[in-house]
Structure 1
């Protein structure tokens, strides 16, 4: 085999430079550095569909000259006088069977680490996964798009994986007791049987464990706080943060498993102040909580159920004193758009953590038909509060709830418009929040006379604004009629005799619609002047405009 590995090294040094799956080193630096390199090379080899990654000692990086090394890994001792190879193996997760080969090329000592590519999970060292970016080794958590690709290389459900060293003793007895009660309440026909089941039988029946083996799901929902290490380098943590109106952090708290109990603790931490407003059709104020309890439960459960725990980050709940509540979890939004969820009449066909989601349904933490998001929209609509704001990116999902009425009259009148579908309501909500809408959404709203203006600066149409106290705002957005602008131009020229183009830009800037960009305002003035010139009202000479009749 030494001849094979000699030939392999001679082939590797023909590469023009170090690669994501190949690293050269002249000599030993530290045991920790080797552990990080093994993690990074295994993960990068997986991404590049290489069977192995290689770490070669005795080669100069850059020139690839064979200079030899004094490092003998098979005899080297790590901390505690432990053999280096064993020290590395016990600190890598999952354990991978890398091999070390020591031989000579041209009388020079070479040490070759042959590292198998990661398979079902990213390889971590001391609970941290690494990746190669060019010739540099970086923490994988700083590159979520690469982490996602690594996990997607496995078709298995991470939440159903077994923690082989964990037992029922690593689960919280109070959480198991709560789970029994909730399961029995949800399945009343089994209530008497549940009392007779031992813990293993119950956990299997509730589909939290598999044949008595502890799953990642069991650790997340029912595990003792100290049991989280069984799912490392994945992380199970919820962080609540309170921020002032200036966006500065005023308070925070972390919540560990068991999440079945933590959801109540997070709910109690959210202040959810009372809010007074006038319901439609009455002069008597009503006092309600800013955030409907269902919304908090559903948003938090969605974050737990759909979090990509493999990316190594936690779930955050940010409460702001400007009456907003924000939930964020890691991982791509699999339905792609929120409209796909709201307008589909069937449950979501694909889940990131199907075993976890199914267990949460059994414990009444999630709805069974996937209608939770739609119900959150309906709750906000019925309160006349702004609809939920979803911000979707390739590696995270953020949803924001506003716990107050921004424009009560507008919201009430909008709800009375005939034939206003949920799809229309969502699109109009985007227009009000000055967000982009699709051409299809714009066409539908325009057909129903709900918006005016040009892409991308749409505004709520006059017939909607007319029902509310938004007439003044509508005029600012739509702008005044052409006759007004023409008279303004004529008045300026009558008073001063002449004016340059820049004079008109400054004079008309504040009178033009607010939704227009500076470039659009420029062209608006240009077109106005040209129209007046064609009508023989004004003329252009010596770089200034003048009245025709002067």
Structure 2
């Protein structure tokens, strides 16, 4: 891979001059200067139709000669002795995951910043977006034509569309006040500045409005109840439903914008009863809430952020008295599978409502983009509760959480098995629930001796069964060896002299492994009888089996 980046740098030095997406620096100046340049280059790459922008240290600007640099970003510290890379990432908005490559070319140190182009929103540094004008870095606000082109990239983002008839008066004052406080708490270094901002300045800075214009996002998060008419024909509603064990509806309530306030209202509506279970190694029960508060807020926020409002459906939260909690929102799941979200180390490349999602992150309504689902899995796993169940069919996302331990001893002991990754636990959770696992998941579990059996009929392996004190259940699932079944057939014939095939079906069916289908059991018995016939233990005559 280093050869690739060496060749890339050499090709960049062949450019006739610096570009809006390319800048050469000889040495490090200040963390603030790098932050401004990352913002400007990302925005410049977007305008130039490039996937990436590049900031190269160790190359002379005018000649493009490789001269080397003493700058080492991995060891360089920013203010407060914070690592430079983390300091930069935390001050860029929306967050972008640039990569840093340190190389040697002809014995000279070169540092390459590879920066993704802005996609849905201009990239800001310390809440100020920048742009490249020639070889200079300038605030974007002074160049309205470039700014307009960057915002036009959001044409397909419904959440960024302007409600042209709406004004600041259509937003809820209480919601704006809460938004200010949350934003200030998250950006403590700006707390004094925020006090001086008027509402429009604040909403622009928080990426909720665009140049003072009210967006669909502003209505969803901060709008008065009656302002939802500006979204028509799109709809913005949340419905909470309580159902009994029998599935019959017992209570319900509807919620409308401002969703910033409705988030707490729905959260408080969920009863979230206490649940007791015996912690490992103690005689005293541990008491926890059925649903970790983070899970409720994150699942509901995901539904708000990723709902396809144009479909006209409601976000629903169904609380069942069988200790399950279900969240559902309209719209296909863009990453396609949950595994795609859990396996990738970076946020998803695209979102249905990027402007809305970024605003929710800035108001602390959502976890850092891309990490929330994984954290929900980890929370359930640490509690020994079943992992979340996702249903992504029928153009909607449904996730169910179980607020109790289904098999306490199994769950606790399983956590003590060495080398179990989150993905192993997810796959084993599927096996326990009788769900299908992929060939890759099966191969990974087989290598660790965690499962046995055939495709679509896997069972927890003997070693795990031993760890989890489920030897009896394991034997029931795996079945017994052929010698046992042969002895049983011989004993049957000694007692009754002869038997039809149907007699053996009835006699052996409940002794065969539970994972076998009726058809598989039929063929298993057939093979056993033929094997015993070849061994001259039994023979077939006049449609019955007899002892030799």
TM-score under structure 2 normalisation? Answer: 0.71
Aligned to 1:444: 444
Deviations 1:339-381 (A, max 9, x none): 1111211111111100000000110011224211111111111
Report if aligned partners of 1:209, 1:215 keep a CA contact under 8 Å in 2: yes
User: Does the aligned pair in 1 maintain the 2:220–2:259 contact within 8 Å?
Assistant: yes
Q: Is this contact kept in 2: 1:160–1:215, CA < 8 A?
A: yes
Residues 57-456 of structure 1 mapped to structure 2, 5 A cutoff: 156-456=156-456
Q: Show the counterpart of 1:529.
A: 529
- 2:97 alignment counterpart: none
CA distance in 2, matches of 1:271, 1:297: 14
- For the 8 Å contact 1:459–1:477, the answer to whether it is kept is yes
2:299/2:327 contact within 8 Å kept: yes
Question: Residue 546 of structure 1 corresponds to which residue in structure 2?
Answer: 546
Q: Deviations over 1:508-549 (max 9, x none)?
A: 11111111111111111111111111111111122211111x
Render the CA deviation track for 1:148-183: whole Å, top value 9, x for unaligned: xxxxxx961000011111111111111111101101
Partners in 2 of 1:370 and 1:245 — Cα distance?
34
Counterpart in the other structure of 1:518: 518
CA distance in 1, matches of 2:447, 2:468: 21
Q: Deviations over 1:223-263 (max 9, x none)?
A: 11111111112111111111111111111111111100001
- Looking at structure 1, the residues matched to 532 and 233 of structure 2 have their Cα atoms a distance apart, in angstroms, of 70
The 3-state SS of whatever aligns with 1:318 is: strand
TM-score (norm 1): 0.70
CA–CA distance in 2 between the matches of 1:250 and 1:540?
Answer: 63
Partners of 2:218 and 2:344 in 1: how far apart?
31
Q: Partner of 1:473 in structure 2? A: 473
Q: For 1:480 and 1:392, locate their aligned partners in 2 and report how far apart those are by CA, in whole Å.
A: 39
* Contact kept in structure 2, 1:498 and 1:545, CA below 8 Å: yes
SS of 2:319's equivalent in the other structure is strand
CA distance, structure 2, for counterparts of residue 376 and residue 248 of structure 1: 28
1:499 maps to: 499
Shift, 1:469, TM fit: 3.4
3-state SS, counterpart of residue 219 of structure 1: helix
Aligned to 2:9: none
CA separation in 2, counterparts of 1:164 and 1:411? 55
> Post-superposition shift, 1:471?
2.1
1:309-328 CA-partner distances (Å, limit 9, x unpaired): 11110111111111111111
3-state secondary structure, aligned to 1:393: coil
Residue 490, structure 1, aligned to residue 497, structure 2: no
User: Residue in 2 aligned with 1:40?
Assistant: none
Question: Number of residue pairs matched?
Answer: 395
Are 2:155 and 2:161, in contact at CA under 8 Å, matched by a contact in 1? Answer: no
Return structure 1 stretches of 4+ with deviation > 4 angstroms: none
Unaligned stretches of 5+ residues in structure 2 = 1-153
Per-residue Cα deviation, 1:423-476 (whole angstroms, up to 9, x for no partner)? 111101100010000011111111111001111110101111112232222222
**Within 2, Cα distance between the matches of 1:465 and 1:252?**
43
Q: Distance in 2 between matches of 1:421 and 1:320?
A: 31
- Rounded Cα–Cα distance in structure 2 between residues aligned with 1:451 and 1:182: 48
CA–CA separation in structure 1 for the residues paired with 2:439 and 2:321: 36
Q: Which runs of 5+ in 1 are unaligned?
A: 1-153
For 2:226 and 2:337, the matched residues in 1 are separated by: 37
Aligned twin of 1:143: none
- Counterpart residue number, 1:106: none
Question: Offset at 1:284?
Answer: 2.1
SS at match of 2:392: strand
Q: In 2, Cα distance between the equivalents of 1:407 and 1:320? A: 20
- The 2-side partners of 1:327 and 1:378 are apart by 18
Assess if the C-alpha contact under 8 Å between 1:217 and 1:355 holds in 2.
yes
Q: Is the 8 A contact 1:333 1:394 kept in 2?
A: no
Shift, 1:199, TM fit: 1.3
Q: Deviations over 1:461-494 (max 9, x none)?
A: 1111112232222222111221221122112212
1:216 positional shift = 0.8
Superposed displacement of residue 283, structure 1: 2.2
